[in-house]
Amino acid sequence: MEYSFWLWIGSILILIAVHVSRLAYHVVTSGVKSTRKFSAKNKPTPGSVNGVKKSKVKFLPLSLNLAIAAVIMLLWFFRYDLQLVEPQPVPNARNAMTSLQP
């Protein structure tokens, strides 16, 4: 249950990071005024259907964010089992107290 929570949080963070980077790239390449297609408000035009203008924004599927978050989560939570990082020894409180005594 704990892993599914972190998977959900990770996928949301990746979704936000991808969309912010896409918006920043679009601002740098096309300018600030042409970013209206990223906004939620589309003004109706005479050629629109039911007063709603079709947007040409390509949305990312959620499965891509879940896959990236799952890989990152698995690498982080199982880094000791996969031997990516050496586990650091935890000092034993009993041994630490006996080593301080003369």
pLDDT digits (tens, 9 = 90+) for 17-69: 988 898 888 888 887 777 666 555 555 555 555 555 555 656 667 788 888 88
Q: Is residue 74 part of a domain?
A: yes
Q: What is the mean pLDDT of residues 68-75?
A: 90
Q: Is residue 50 part of a domain?
A: no
Higher pLDDT, 14 or 33: 14
Q: Is residue 101 part of a domain?
A: no
Q: Binning pLDDT at 50, 70 and 90, where does residue 88 land?
A: confident
Could you tell me the two tokens for 96? 């630490």
Q: Is residue 6 part of a domain?
A: yes
- CA–CA dist 84, 71 (Å, integer): 14
Q: Is residue 84 part of a domain?
A: yes
Q: Is residue 81 part of a domain?
A: yes
Q: Is residue 13 part of a domain?
A: yes
Q: What pLDDT does residue 40 have?
A: 53
Q: Is residue 12 part of a domain?
A: yes
Q: What pLDDT does residue 26 have?
A: 85
Q: What pLDDT does residue 71 have?
A: 92
**What range defines the domain where residue 8 resides?**
1-38+59-88
> For the whole model, what pTM was predicted?
0.56
Closest by alpha carbon to 6, among 71, 85, 98?
71
Q: How many structural domains comprise the chain?
A: 1
Q: What pLDDT does residue 92 have?
A: 66
Q: What is the mean pLDDT of residues 75-95?
A: 80
Gyration radius from the chain CA atoms = 25
Query: At what angle are helices 62-77 and 2-30 packed, to 10 degrees?
Result: 120
